[in-house]
């Protein structure tokens, strides 16, 4: 509470440890952050926080913080240098590489944890300054399939509704998401809604483990990893067969398509026939009766809200999985109504706002618009005041291609010779990670971060960066909500905000005119970058022109885009035309007249969304005789990503100190494994040595390992597969085949 903590002042901000976007107040005493409390007026969390929100900031004061620029010397050791020396070296080397090997020889690899102003500025420097689309970021590893799903189904990215739909939904479809550990505050809202009327609020969980999320389910759909496409089609088949469809939606708002050919509803019905409950049970191990009941609840006990994360996205058929969940909403009319939404939750705090919306991926421009579109390039070139034709029409490399093609200057097979990485740790977080270490080590690698990581170990230059509360800026969370954090304290040593680093690099490369700058006042510079971005996306469907710093400073809850002008209250529910669709306002369109709903899937079929007839395809590497287990990976509630921050908070490190492998008792017995024994887990790419947790929550044949641990023996991405989705290019972290053997005593 505000009263019981002794601080000098409380400053409004956001949590940086997941995509929920919880509002916080940061308590500052004697110039240091001394406490965090939840903001009771924040529309995302109403004052509640999880352990990371309360304690994560403590890592700021860990003695391992990077405080000075470091450059690798001829003896392979890092030595401290001045900022001038470090930045001059980076600029000189980048220019040399570009002159010798072309403008695309140097890449930028960003993060869903950078502030929006930073991602936008680095993206502008590369695409508008160098004329190179070699820009990608870690949201490619977590959200790209959700983007692909939204864009192919509805025509634009990001969900239609808001978290506020949770309190109006009567059925929840939680799929590919361990909400209770990965988005605990959202889970709290879902659980409260369930508890408010346990008999009438229903929860369906589709997930191969009996997680703490699945334990609140009325219906559990334990489909084997990567087989749920068949479950979704089977649910659709039951819905159509029993006439639980919304006929008006189907006739007026849906367009049925194979992806290459438009078909009619009869063809869709015919296509679904193969997915009988019995056939799907055989394929997925998911009980047929559960699928039938899930379909009934989904369609008849609405409004229905789906929520998902990596279980759908980190797949070789991630876009299709997203499409098929959207299908269920469209054919039952469960979208664009209060409590009805098809909602992908974001993993990182600013993957939506900072990377998707600013177009900081290799194929996009600001406003999530394709770089291949000449009209979009023209508009952005005008906004950036750069010569016509400066932006390259050809997309750059996506993440997996980038790291596969990064290497030494004299290696003709590797066109990327240098890379600038900020606020992320790909040496640990890429699937099959050790395969890519050689390229990182041999290229000219620059890393800006707050702590030493597995990636800084491979760098040539390490730049010490500021933590969110040491610089401020805007984050955009999963529900299209932008929130401003104000600077609370100074960074340690000589650490600097990433925006300053971008501007200094631009200056040394002769591109300072691109970046609006106002001396060394960080708040003014971040505001100028934000205003530059607002102008750039002013005329787009994603417009957040009306979201100004002044408004964000005053508003406890931030603002949701579209927000086209400064009078707009923002938009809680998209695709609804006519009256202002903000919920809980007097003129609200609670359930809009259907004729007001308008999707953008295809210009030729105005107003409609695509319902896809996607064929079934299972995982890339299913278990076989040699590798008989499914391995799936995920987060735990205490730890954030690769653990570089949360493992430096003593309370968190003690509560969840290392990764482990969850194994079902029947499998453990077969292999002579007891709780706590060390297990060697081997895939086609590498192995881990992990302590066993013998638990019933993982079904027979399925193993689970959390991914935060950076210990070489327990680093799970030495084992995972780097195959990726054809459309989104997002890798299949969630599923690969492994074998196990007992390795030794605890």
Q: What residues form the annotated binding site for substrate? A: 707
Of 22 and 219, nearer to ligand SF4 (C-beta) is 22
End-to-end distance of the chain based on CA atoms, in angstroms? Answer: 42
Single out the catalytic residue among 58, 286, 310, 477: 310
Strand partners, 599: 607
Q: Is 467 exposed, middle or buried (0-12, 13-18, 19+ CB in 10 A)?
A: buried
Q: Is there a catalytic annotation at residue 310?
A: yes
HSE-up (13 A, CA, CB side) for residue 72:
16
Helical ranges in 457-571 per DSSP H: 498-508, 522-536, 549-554
Kindly name the residue from 143, 352, 400, 681 that is annotated as catalytic: 143
506 touches ligand SF4 (CB under 6 A): no
Where is the binding site, in residues? 15, 18, 22, 50, 52, 113, 138, 142, 226-228, 310, 314, 425, 471, 498, 707, 717, 734
Residue 306: which H helix or E strand, with range? strand 304-308
Nearer to ligand SF4, 15 or 166 (CB): 15
Interaction residues for ligand SF4, span 5-44 (CB under 6 A):
15, 17-18, 20-22
Does 113 help bind ligand SF4 (rule: CB under 6 A)?
Answer: no
Q: Which is nearer to ligand SF4, 20 or 683 (CB)?
A: 20
Q: Which stretch binds ligand SF4 (CB under 6 A): 183-191, 332-340, 532-540, 622-630?
A: 183-191
Quick one: which of 222, 137, 135, 129 has its CA closest to 174?
222
Helices of type H across 177-255: 179-182, 184-196, 228-241, 247-253
Q: How far apart are CA 395 and CA 377, in angstroms?
A: 12
Spot the catalytic one: 176, 333, 347, 396: 347
Residue 652 touches ligand SF4, criterion: CB under 6 A: no
- Name which of 564 and 706 has its Cβ closer to ligand SF4: 706
Q: Is 53 in the site for ligand SF4 (CB under 6 A)?
A: yes
Let me know if 439 is a catalytic residue.
no
Q: Pick the closest to residue 401 from 429, 430, 378 (CA basis).
A: 430
At how many degrees (to 10) do helices 318-331 and 144-154 cross? 40
The nearest distance, CB 27 to ligand SF4, in angstroms, is 15
d(C-alpha 296, C-alpha 492), whole Å: 57
Residue 57 beta carbon to ligand SF4: minimum distance, rounded to whole angstroms: 10
Active site residue 440: no
Residue 183 vs 326, nearer CB to ligand SF4: 183
* Alpha carbon distance 432, 434 (integer Å): 6
CB of 680 to ligand SF4, least distance (A): 33
Please tell me whether the peptide bond between 303 and the residue prior to it is cis, using omega within 30 degrees of 0: yes
Which residue matches tokens 């000219």?
444
Catalytic status, residue 348: yes
Indicate whether 50 belongs to the interface with ligand SF4 (CB under 6 A). Answer: yes
Indicate which single residue of 13, 26, 45, 563 sits in contact with ligand SF4 (rule: CB under 6 A): 45
Residue of 377, 442, 367 lying closest to 403 (CA atoms): 442
52 a catalytic residue:
yes
* CA torsion through residues 539, 543, 546, 548, sign: negative
Q: Which residue is nearest to ligand SF4, using beta carbons?
A: 53
Q: Give the residue with the Cβ less far from ligand SF4, 363 or 641.
A: 641
Q: Which stretch binds ligand SF4 (CB under 6 A): 47-55, 295-303, 436-444, 622-630?
A: 47-55
Q: How far is the CB of 308 from ligand SF4 (least distance, A)?
A: 16
Q: Which is nearer to ligand SF4, 51 or 371 (CB)?
A: 51
Closest approach of ligand SF4 to the CB of residue 253, in Å: 33
Q: Is 294 in the site for ligand SF4 (CB under 6 A)?
A: no
Per the CB < 8 A criterion, the answer to whether 116 and 130 are in contact is no
477 in catalytic set: no
Residue 139 or residue 184: which is nearer to ligand SF4 going by CB? Answer: 184
CB of 56 to ligand SF4, least distance (A): 7
Burial pattern 620-641, b for ≥16 Cβ within 10 A else e, equals bbebeeebebbbbbbbbbbbbb
Compose the 429-468 pattern: x for residues touching ligand SF4 by CB under 6 A, - for all others. Answer: ----------------------------------------
Q: Using CB under 6 A, which of 12, 13, 43, 52 touches ligand SF4?
A: 52
Distances, alpha carbon 670 to alpha carbons 15, 110, 700, 740, in Å: 44, 45, 11, 11
Q: Considering the rule CB under 6 A, would residue 350 count as an interface residue with ligand SF4?
A: no
* 3-state secondary structure labels for all residues of 400-457: HHHHHCECCCCCCCCCECEEEEECCCHHHHCCCHHHHHHHHHHCEEEEEECCCCCCHH
* From 58, 115, 142, 715, the catalytic residue: 142
Q: Is 684 helix (H, G, I), strand (E, B) or coil?
A: coil
Position 49 contacts ligand SF4 (CB under 6 A): yes
From 98, 348, 379, 560, active-site residue: 348
Residues forming the active site: 52, 142-143, 310, 347-348
* Site of interaction with ligand SF4 (CB under 6 A): 15, 17-18, 20-22, 45, 49-50, 52-53, 183-185
């Amino acid at each position: 509470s505000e009263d019981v903590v002794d601080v000098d002042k409380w400053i409004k901000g956001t949590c940086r440890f997941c995509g929920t976007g919880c509002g916080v107040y940061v308590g500052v005493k004697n110039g240091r952050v001394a406490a965090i409390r939840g903001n009771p007026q924040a529309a995302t969390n109403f004052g509640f926080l999880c352990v990371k929100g309360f304690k994560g900031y403590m890592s700021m004061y860990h003695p391992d913080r990077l405080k000075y620029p470091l450059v690798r010397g001829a003896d392979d050791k890092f030595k401290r240098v001045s900022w001038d020396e470090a930045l001059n070296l980076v600029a000189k080397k980048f220019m040399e590489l570009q002159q010798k090997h072309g403008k695309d020889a140097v890449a930028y690899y960003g993060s869903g944890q950078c502030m929006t102003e930073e991602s936008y500025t680095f993206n502008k420097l590369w695409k508008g300054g160098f004329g190179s689309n070699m820009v990608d970021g870690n949201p490619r590893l977590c959200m790209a399939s959700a983007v692909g799903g939204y864009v192919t189904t509805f025509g634009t990215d990001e969900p239609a509704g808001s978290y506020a739909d949770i309190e109006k939904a009567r059925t929840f479809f939680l799929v590919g998401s361990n909400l209770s550990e990965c988005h605990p505050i959202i889970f709290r809202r879902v659980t409260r809604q369930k508890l408010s009327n346990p008999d009438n609020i229903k929860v369906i969980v589709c997930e191969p483990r009996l997680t703490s999320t699945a334990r609140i389910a009325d219906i559990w759909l334990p489909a084997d990893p990567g087989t749920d496409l068949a479950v979704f089609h089977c649910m659709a088949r039951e819905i159509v067969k029993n006439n639980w469809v919304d006929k008006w939606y189907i006739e007026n708002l849906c367009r049925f398509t194979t992806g290459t050919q438009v078909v009619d509803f009869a063809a869709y019905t015919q296509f679904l026939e193969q997915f009988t409950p019995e056939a799907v049970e055989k394929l997925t191990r998911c009980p047929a009766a559960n699928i039938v009941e899930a379909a009934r609840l989904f369609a008849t006990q609405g409004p229905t809200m789906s929520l998902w994360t990596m279980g759908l996205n980190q797949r070789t058929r991630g876009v299709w999985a997203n499409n098929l969940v959207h299908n269920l909403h469209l054919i039952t009319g469960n979208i664009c109504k209060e409590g009805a939404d098809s909602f992908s939750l974001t993993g990182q705090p600013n993957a939506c706002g900072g990377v998707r919306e600013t177009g900081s991926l290799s194929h996009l421009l600001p406003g999530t618009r394709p770089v291949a579109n000449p009209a979009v390039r023209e508009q952005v070139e005008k906004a950036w005041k750069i010569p016509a034709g400066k932006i390259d029409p050809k997309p750059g490399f996506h993440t997996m291609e980038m790291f596969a093609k990064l290497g030494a200057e004299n290696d003709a097979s590797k066109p990327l010779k240098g890379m600038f990485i900020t606020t992320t740790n790909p040496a640990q977080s890429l699937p099959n990670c050790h395969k890519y270490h050689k390229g990182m080590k041999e290229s000219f690698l620059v890393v800006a971060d707050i702590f030493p990581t597995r990636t800084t170990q491979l760098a040539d230059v390490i730049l010490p960066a500021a933590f969110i509360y040491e610089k401020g800026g805007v984050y955009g969370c999963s529900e299209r909500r932008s929130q401003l954090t104000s600077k609370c304290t100074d960074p340690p040593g000589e650490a600097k905000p990433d925006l300053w680093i971008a501007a200094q690099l631009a200056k040394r490369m002769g591109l300072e005119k691109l970046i609006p700058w106002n001396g060394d006042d960080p708040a003014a510079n971040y505001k100028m970058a934000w205003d530059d971005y607002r102008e750039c996306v002013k005329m787009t469907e994603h417009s957040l022109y009306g979201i100004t710093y002044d408004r964000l400073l005053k508003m406890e809850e931030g603002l949701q885009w579209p927000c086209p002008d400064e009078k707009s209250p923002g938009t809680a529910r998209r695709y609804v035309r006519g009256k202002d669709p903000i919920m809980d306002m007097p003129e609200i369109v609670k359930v809009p007249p259907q004729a007001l709903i308008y999707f953008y899937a295809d210009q030729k079929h105005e107003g409609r969304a695509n319902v896809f007839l996607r064929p079934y395809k299972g995982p890339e590497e299913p278990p076989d005789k040699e590798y008989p287990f499914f391995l799936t990976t995920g987060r735990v509630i205490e730890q954030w990503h690769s653990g570089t921050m949360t493992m430096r908070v003593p309370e968190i490190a003690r509560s969840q100190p290392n990764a482990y492998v969850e194994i079902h008792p029947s499998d453990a017995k077969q292999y002579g494994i007891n709780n706590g024994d060390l297990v060697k887990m081997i895939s086609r790419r590498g192995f881990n040595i992990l302590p066993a947790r013998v638990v019933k929550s993982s079904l027979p044949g399925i193993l689970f390992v959390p991914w935060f641990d950076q210990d070489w023996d327990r680093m799970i991405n030495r084992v995972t597969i780097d195959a990726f989705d054809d459309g989104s290019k997002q890798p299949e972290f969630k599923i690969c085949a492994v074998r196990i053997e007992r390795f030794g005593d605890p």
